[in-house]
Chains A and B, each alone.
Chain A
Amino acid sequence: MKKMLPLAVVALIVIAIQVITGLTDTRFYLTQLTMSAYYALLIIGLCVVMGYAGQISLGHAGFFAIGGYVSAALTTRNLVAHKETGLVKMLDGFGLLVSGQDIYGDAFMAVTPWTACILAVLCAGLIAWILGIPVLKLKGHYLAMATLGFGIIIYRIVLASAYFGEADGISEVPGFTLVPGLTVSGDFGAREENYYIAWGLLILGMVLLRNLIDSRVGRALRSIHGSEEAAASVGVNTARYKLSVFVLSAVFAAVAGVFMVHYNGGIGPSEAGVMKSVRYVAIVAVGGMAHIWGALIMGIVLNFLSLRGVFGSYDDAVFGFILIAIMLFAPNGILSLNWRASVERLLTFANLRKRPGDQTDAPS
């Protein structure tokens, strides 16, 4: 029960923020808070891969984009032209298609959001699995470059294929009715509803990951981070654990992408860009790598500030700066920073020499 206390506090804060914005007539903040929650969902997933299992991924925007794009394309692309093909007939037979008329009065037929969501998440998970088998054998620079390469390929595919809207992306994505009366959509009237959906999903994700970390799996992951050889020698199946946690984080990213695209009503190629992946890594690093709460808090705060446009045209530069500053001065994240040691370290750096026998190493 004690483990649930922080999450209960988060839930209370979430409710308090909604009440306060309602009272002070600043409900517009809820829009960015909703989007931040979806980004944070991806980030806590990435945190488990990077911080706990120690595997860097510079391609997570790719999984987010797979989730978002597949769901968006399936729910908006008209299937009337393929009405007579076996696959479409089969889907229709199972009641997985919605039919109707588009704004010009022509017949329209597309996949239902629930089906699209499941297909999108499955697709991302499958790709992560296929990619993960060879990629996770690599270490260090090689792993970083391979995942970066994967991200760029997804970006190129999205940009080059007409099905995914090329440079324009996909727009006019319909709302996603989770259960009757609860719809993920960008309607102004549904702001509070969507705020709670997003945060509910995020808290659910947190519960899942925290239980995972505290379980046998979590201990195995940490042992892999410490030393893969040592972990393997005590019987940890390192390849399997790394792969399953990688797939899990890809699923988190894809779910975030699916919900985001139905909430925003559209998605563009920039969501698949390299800078997005780097940004997620930056946020996990600021939060302290193996620190899921840090990742959550920083994910919300930094995404919220970025979405509010606080950084202006320096948006990417700010994240680059954060990356360098954190990695130079506080590689364990700012939440676990030992301020006194860091200041001393800075001073010794300023003097450019250390006194002999002086122990001023920052936590590393």
Chain B
Amino acid sequence: MTAELFIQYLFAGITYGAIYAIVAIGFNIIYNTTGIINFAQGEFVMLGGMISISLLPFVPMPVAIALAVILTMIFGALLEICFIRWLESPGVLRMIIITIGLSILTREVALHIWGESIRSLPYFVGDEITTVTILGARISPQVLWVIGVCGLMVVFLSVFFQTTSVGREMRACAANRKAAILCGINTRNMVTLSFILSAGMGALAGCVMSPITSTEYDIGTGLAIKGFTVAILGGLGNSMAAVGAGLLLGILEAFSISILPLAFKDAIAITILLLILFVRPHGLFGSSAAAGLKEF
């Protein structure tokens, strides 16, 4: 493998890895405030891409993307308010089944609105043959867009959680829900907010990745599995570890193509998921002592 090809694969891996990391962080945000895994997480990414593509004929692209993100955030909020908010201490099995049902319904609605056709946003800069040369490898500027936007989102999130009072309230809710209630934090609103936040992040990721990977009504399930793999790999609930795990999985997948047939690309992520679940369910970066207190 030449050095150029190596860098080419590396960038492809980082691009996908960044998307996986964003989906995984979406899982983590909701998991931290509610203790549930939102199986409809991948659908946010699909909705972001689809809505922005539909709005594109009417408004310029930045506006279309902004509107798509806002609409998906509203959708996320509605999901939480209609289906989750009013349940009193539901069991895990029940929540799994409800969010799976939500993801199916979202996908089917998308199928009836947009059909089975594969769509994509136009490239942000130039077109599909525009390239920039980095260390001898030729890379589409869109790749830099994906990496940049995902990186910015991670920075924004950590600033949000560390410095703003709403962010601190959300962390308090994650750390100890009862104590947060006693401190006067409205935990129910925090849950809604966590859905809004992860819907918005997913939608934005869906927009920037659309020119490269294209968007279909059924991309959600695959992304959800990959995102969950990454979330587990990093240790569920740990958003910064998810970034590292996401990049790791993306790069592994990218290099696997040079050894294995393309059809097995998805199987790699799932094999890693199963292995991690069996061997280190607390994740690569998590501590086993803390994991002993959790339920797997």
Shortest beta-carbon distance, A325 to chain B, in Å?
8
Q: How far is the CA of A142 from the CA of B98 in the complex (A)?
A: 16
Q: Are A140 and B92 in contact (CB under 8 A)?
A: yes
Asked, given contacts A145-B228, A153-B271, A159-B263, whether A320 binds B105 with beta carbons under 8 Å apart, the answer is: yes
The residue that B100 contacts in the complex, of A54, A149, A278, A317, with Cβ under 8 A, is A278
The answer to the question of B58 belonging to the interface, with a C-beta cut-off of 8 Å to chain A, is no
Interface size on A, residues (CB 8 A): 44
Q: How far is the CA of A157 from the CA of B263 in the complex (A)?
A: 9
Interface residues on chain B, size class: 35 or more
Is B264 close to A, CB under 8 A? yes
Q: Would you call A149 and B96 a contact (CB within 8 A)? A: no
A149 touches B97 (CB 8 A): no
**For the complex, is B137 an interface residue (Cβ under 8 Å from A)?**
no
- Interface Cβ pair total, 8 Å cutoff: 117
**Is the pair B108, A328 in contact by a Cβ cutoff of 8 Å?**
no
Which of A135, A144, A282 contacts B96 (CB under 8 A)? A144
List of B residues within 8 angstroms of A140 by Cβ? 92-93, 96, 295-296
* B295 engages A150 (CB within 8 Å): no
Say yes or no: is A13 at the interface (Cβ < 8 Å to chain B). no
Are B277 and A146 closer than 8 Å at their CB atoms? yes
- Nearest Cβ distance between residue B214 and chain A, in whole angstroms? 20
Asked if B274 contacts A274 (CB within 8 A), the reply is: no
A149/B98 contact (C-beta < 8 A), A141-B37, A278-B104, A314-B108 known: no
Is B273's CB under 8 angstroms from A146's CB?
yes
Complex: A18 Cα to B96 Cα, angstroms: 40
> Smallest Cβ distance from A134 to chain B, in angstroms?
4
Does A152 count as interface, using CB distance less than 8 angstroms? yes
Can you list, as one digit per residue, whether each of B244-281 has a CB less than 8 Å from chain A (1) or not (0)?
Answer: 00000000000000000101101100110110011001
Nearest chain-B residue to A324 (Cβ)? Answer: B101
A327 CA to B91 CA, complexed, in Å: 10
From 7 to 34 in chain B, residues with beta carbon under 8 angstroms from any chain A beta carbon are: none
Main secondary structure of the interface of B (DSSP, over half): helix
Which listed residue (B102, B107, B273) contacts A145, Cβ 8 A? B273
Q: CB-nearest residue of chain B relative to A58?
A: B100
Q: Which B positions have Cβ atoms within 8 angstroms of A?
A: 36-37, 83, 86-88, 90-94, 96-98, 100-105, 107-109, 112, 221, 225, 228, 232, 261, 263-264, 266-267, 270-271, 273-274, 277-278, 281, 295-296
User: Which 10 A-B pairs give the minimum distances between C-beta atoms?
Assistant: A320-B104, A323-B101, A317-B108, A160-B263, A324-B101, A134-B278, A140-B92, A149-B270, A141-B37, A320-B105
Residues of A within 8 A of B (CB): 54, 56, 58, 134-135, 137-142, 144-146, 148-150, 152-153, 156-157, 159-160, 274-275, 278, 281-282, 285, 313-314, 316-317, 319-324, 327-328, 331, 349, 361
Q: List 21 A-B contacts (CB under 8 A).
A: A138-B296, A140-B96, A142-B232, A142-B296, A146-B273, A152-B225, A152-B267, A156-B266, A157-B267, A159-B263, A160-B263, A281-B100, A313-B112, A314-B108, A316-B104, A323-B98, A323-B100, A324-B101, A324-B105, A331-B90, A331-B94
